[in-house]
Amino acid sequence: MKTRILTTALASLVVAGFAAAPTFADGESTVGAKVDDVTLLTKIKADLLQSKNVDGLDVNVDVKDGKVTLSGTASTEAERTQAESIAKGASGVKSVDNKIVLKQAK
């Protein structure tokens, strides 16, 4: 019973803290926007890792306010394009900036 009361009190303090300071240091993003960005990043990265046509470990994903930036490397132009298509297909994406470069042939 004490644990449940303590957990409820702690959760209330966390929520109150977010409500008291609804923006982050950048002055523009809210807690909700940050959560949405993290959710989007997680979804895109998971889709890239599951794709048979993209080496998801070679692609970095950044999201800010629904704007996705892809970076890293791809073996082919088709792989680079597929990574962009996967990112664009995620619900909530406003735009995709594809900065993936092709790996140099050895």
Task: Classify each residue of 62-72 as buried b or exposed e, where b means 16 or more C-beta atoms within 10 Å of its C-beta.
Answer: ebeeeebbbeb
Residues of the chain with pLDDT under 70: 1-35, 106
Position 57 scores a pLDDT of: 95
Residue 103 Cα to chain centre, angstroms = 24
Position 105 scores a pLDDT of: 72
Position 24 scores a pLDDT of: 46
Which helix (H) or strand (E) covers residue 89, if one does? none
Amino acid at 94: K
Domains and CATH numbers, the chain: 30-102 (3.30.1340)
